[in-house]
Every structure is written in structure tokens, then in C-alpha cells.
């Protein structure tokens, strides 16, 4: 008998793979119902395709290509301000639970289900969804986000969720230290990388085609891959573009709502490329001389576990990073870590001229150790050992 898992995610399954998709797609002996996070009922009022938002959850479940054991559903829209007012969250989660239960019934899921949560708001759904065990996988300092939230409310919801969980995972030391006070089962397992994809930068070196939009770039090329969100240190990116006008700063990723980067667009050597499908990323990374991991100091950045950092390691390419997130210090022997803006420029120069095959090999080794396959093996070892998951 397969393990029945209901995954309440904070990230849509498509188009960008994060920890949630990488974990769910690698679990052995599992059938997964993956629920994309709901949008607010007022979100369609601010979007061009309102009908698409409102009808999304009414569509049939979608099987994931290559992973027929995973079915993706979208949850119904929710009332806003649920991260400010607990009573709103309770109303939302009761409605969400009814939808989840219907889908569970359609797939033959019952009381043996493992409920796998990623959001503190799921604290109020657990009592309404039948399950044998509950896993809380904490990937962020959720109360540090800006917007319509009350940090006190969010932290309380997280404590309530972690408190009833059979197993808690955390992606960073700071998160683990907070949660282990509530639940002693807490275990830190950081994010990882799809090593089999990103290591192609080295294993297929010289044979990866150069993307058309990178053929005429001035080198060195300093590349960033990831969401352009509020916690990124854009002052460092601007300083690099200004101080090294003959170099190129190449940004791959989507700019999140509320992030104004108009001041960066004045620099002709900063390229905003937009999203690139993961299978195509190695060809772009192969053309970069240095990979950038730049976070602005703060509670959110300190405890983040950036996928991009582990993906950079898996390429073998030189990496220049800020001090945060704190996990980068574990790789200080092969990563250029800058403590201030001037040192950041100096580190970029040093990385761009690096010629050290031993460092390349060691970054690849670290990348392999941080692969998603290894991370999920660690997660499964905990869950099988406790009987949360079973072999057959």
C-alpha cells in the first residue's frame, strides 16, 4: 500500500520547481495530492484574467508529467487578511478542508493520510482533514514577510501547527532553533539542487549551445538566477554595474509585485532577462563567469535557504555571496563571501579571474552532497524511522 500524502503547498506546482515539488516528486512509495495555494477573492479584481483565477480550482486534477503519482489541484479562493486575523483564517481553512476532503474521497484517501503542510495558516485545517500523521516543513521566517500580515498572529499560527506535528523540518538553523522550542522533533534539512541538471555546466562543458541573447554580452558576466524579491540586495547589484561598466550583470527571474527596480534599468550593462525554464538554465549558467547570491541583511534573509545557492554550487562556477543567509559560511572554502560593498566588488573581481580546478571540483562535490536526492533521502530516513511513512 502506498503512502497517501496531502501536500498543502505555498507554491504552485508549475512553472518553477521549489522545495515542495522537489520533495514530493522524489518521495518513494507515495501517492500525492498536491494543492496549489489559494488566491484571495479580491486578487481577480486586480488581475487582467479574473475568470482564470476564479475558475482554476474548478478544473479537474492535473497529473504531473513524469510523475503520475502526483495530482495537482488548486484550492478555492479565500478571504483576505487571514494573516492578520485568526478568525478569518479559521473561516478560510474550514472551507478549504471541505474541498480537500472531497478530493481525498475521489482518490480513496482516508484516515491513513499524511498531511504535509508548508504554511502556518494550515494550523486551522488539521482538525478538519482526516490524517494519521502531520508533517510541517518550514522553509521561511513567515512572520518576516511584508504585506497584510500581523507577525504575532503568524508566529502563533506556526506554533500551533508545529505543536501538533508528528515531525517538523526546517531549512535553516534559526528556523530550527525557534521551532524546536515548540516541538523537539524538529530537524534541520536545508534546501538542495537538481544536481543532475545543473552539473551539466561542467559535464557538458563546451557542448552546451550559447543562448542567442547572450552571444554579444561583454565579459565578465555576473549572473543572478532567482526571484527578484524584496530581500535581494539591489544596492550591491547597482554598485557592481556602476563600478564595472565593461562587465555585464545578467538577471534571470521574475520581478515580484511591489519590487521597484526602475533605478536599475538605467544601466546599459544590466540585463533583465526574465524567467528561463529549469532545463534550459545550464546553457545560460555556462556563459556566466560568476554567480551572484546577494541578500540584504534582515530576519527573512538570515534564515532563508536559497535554492539558487546550491544550484550555483552544482555548476562548479565561482560564487560571490553576501554573509546572509548564514548557511553560506559552511562553504567559505570555495565561495567568495563579502562583508561590505567594497569587499563585494573585490570578491567579484577575484572570482572573475579564478583559475582553480580544485575549487571547481570541490564546489561540484558540495553540490552533489546538497542534491535533492540526498535531501529527500535524509527526510525519508527520519519519517520511515518514526513510522510516519511506511515501506509497503
Same domain (yes/no): 304, 163: no
Q: What does the mean pLDDT of the chain come to?
A: 93
Q: What pLDDT does 258 receive?
A: 84
Same domain (yes/no): 250, 153: no
Does residue 135 lie within any of the structural domains?
A: yes
Closest CA to 183 of 196, 202, 194, 170: 170
Same domain (yes/no): 147, 288: no
Strand partners, 271: 250
353 Cβ partners below 8 Å, 6+ apart? Answer: none
Determine which helix (DSSP H) or strand (DSSP E) holds 81, and give its type and residue range: none
Does residue 123 lie within any of the structural domains?
A: yes
Same domain (yes/no): 158, 221: no
Render pLDDT for 320-354 as a digit per residue (tens, 0 to 9): 999 988 889 999 999 999 999 999 999 999 999 99
N residues, the chain: 392
Render pLDDT for 173-214 as a digit per residue (tens, 0 to 9): 999 999 999 999 999 999 999 999 999 999 999 899 999 999
Q: How confident is the model at residue 56 (pLDDT cuts 50, 70, 90)?
A: low
Strand partners, 306: none
Closest CA to 373 of 196, 205, 199, 232: 196
Same domain (yes/no): 217, 347: yes
Does residue 268 lie within any of the structural domains?
A: yes
The span from the CA of 189 to the CA of 185, in Å, is: 12
Does residue 391 lie within any of the structural domains?
A: no
Same domain (yes/no): 174, 214: no
In 254-346, DSSP assigns E strands to: 270-274, 290-293, 319-322, 336-338
Whether the predicted pLDDT of 49 surpasses 60: no
Same domain (yes/no): 224, 282: yes
Mean pLDDT, rounded, for 380-388? 97
Render pLDDT for 78-130 as a digit per residue (tens, 0 to 9): 999 999 999 999 999 999 999 999 999 999 999 999 999 999 999 999 999 99
Q: What pLDDT does 60 receive?
A: 78
Same domain (yes/no): 156, 247: no
Same domain (yes/no): 246, 174: no
Q: What pLDDT does 50 receive?
A: 47
Determine which helix (DSSP H) or strand (DSSP E) holds 293, and give its type and residue range: strand 290-293
CATH number for the domain spanning 293: value is 3.40.50.2000
Query: Rg (Cα) of the chain, in Å, rounded?
Result: 21
Enclosing domain of residue 323:
195-369
C-alpha distances (whole Å) from 66 to each of 26, 29, 79, 261, 262 are 11, 15, 35, 37, 40
What is the count of structural domains for the chain? Answer: 2
Does residue 392 lie within any of the structural domains?
A: no
Whether 301 and 281 have beta carbons less than 8 Å apart is answered as no
Same domain (yes/no): 220, 339: yes
Does residue 157 lie within any of the structural domains?
A: yes
Same domain (yes/no): 95, 134: yes
Whether the predicted pLDDT of 51 surpasses 70: no
16 Cβ partners below 8 Å, 6+ apart? Answer: 275, 278
Mean pLDDT, rounded, for 140-169? 94
Q: What is the pTM of this model?
A: 0.91
Amino acid at each position: 500500500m502506498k503512502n497517501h500524502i496531502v501536500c498543502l503547498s505555498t507554491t504552485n506546482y508549475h512553472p518553477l520547481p521549489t522545495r515542495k515539488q522537489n520533495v514530493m516528486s522524489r518521495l518513494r512509495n507515495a501517492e500525492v495530492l498536491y494543492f496549489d495555494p489559494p488566491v484571495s477573492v479580491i486578487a481577480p479584481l486586480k488581475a487582467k484574467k479574473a475568470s482564470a483565477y476564479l475558475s482554476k480550482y474548478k478544473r479537474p486534477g492535473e497529473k504531473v508529467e513524469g510523475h503520475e503519482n502526483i495530482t495537482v489541484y488548486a484550492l478555492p479562493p479565500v478571504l483576505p487578511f487571514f494573516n492578520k486575523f485568526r478568525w478569518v483564517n479559521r473561516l478560510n481553512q474550514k472551507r478549504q478542508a471541505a474541498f480537500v476532503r472531497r478530493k481525498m474521497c475521489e482518490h480513496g484517501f482516508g484516515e491513513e493520510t499524511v498531511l504535509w503542510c508548508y504554511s502556518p495558516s494550515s494550523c486551522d485545517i488539521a482538525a478538519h482533514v482526516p490524517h494519521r500523521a502531520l508533517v510541517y516543513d518550514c522553509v521561511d521566517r513567515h512572520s518576516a514577510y511584508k504585506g497584510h500580515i500581523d507577525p504575532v498572529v503568524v508566529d502563533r499560527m506556526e506554533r500551533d501547527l508545529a505543536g501538533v506535528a508528528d515531525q517538523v523540518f526546517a531549512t535553516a538553523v534559526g528556523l530550527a532553533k525557534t521551532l524546536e522550542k515548540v516541538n523537539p522533533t524538529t530537524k534541520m534539512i536545508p534546501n538542495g539542487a537538481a544536481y543532475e541538471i545543473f552539473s551539466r555546466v561542467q559535464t557538458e562543458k563546451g557542448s552546451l549551445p550559447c543562448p542567442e541573447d547572450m552571444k554579444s554580452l561583454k565579459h565578465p558576466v555576473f549572473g543572478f538566477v532567482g526571484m527578484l524579491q524584496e530581500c535581494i540586495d539591489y544596492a550591491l547589484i547597482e554598485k557592481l554595474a556602476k563600478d564595472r561598466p565593461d562587465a555585464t550583470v545578467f538577471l534571470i527571474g521574475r520581478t515580484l509585485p511591489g519590487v521597484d527596480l526602475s533605478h536599475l534599468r538605467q544601466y546599459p550593462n544590466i540585463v533583465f532577462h526574465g524567467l528561463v525554464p529549469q532545463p534550459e538554465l545550464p546553457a545560460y549558467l555556462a556563459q556566466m563567469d560568476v554567480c551572484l547570491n546577494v541578500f540584504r541583511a534582515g530576519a527573512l534573509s538570515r534564515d532563508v535557504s536559497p535554492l539558487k545557492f546550491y544550484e550555483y554550487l552544482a555548476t562548479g562556477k565561482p560564487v560571490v555571496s553576501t554573509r546572509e543567509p548564514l548557511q553560506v559560511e559552511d562553504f567559505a572554502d570555495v565561495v567568495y563571501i563579502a562583508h561590505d560593498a567594497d569587499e563585494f566588488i573585490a570578491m567579484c573581481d577575484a572570482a572573475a579571474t579564478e583559475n582553480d580546478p580544485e575549487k571547481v571540483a570541490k564546489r561540484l562535490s558540495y553540490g552533489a552532497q546538497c542534491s535533492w536526492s540526498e535531501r529527500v533521502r535524509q527526510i525519508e530516513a527520519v519519517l520511515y524511522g518514526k513510522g510516519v511513512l511506511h515501506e509497503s
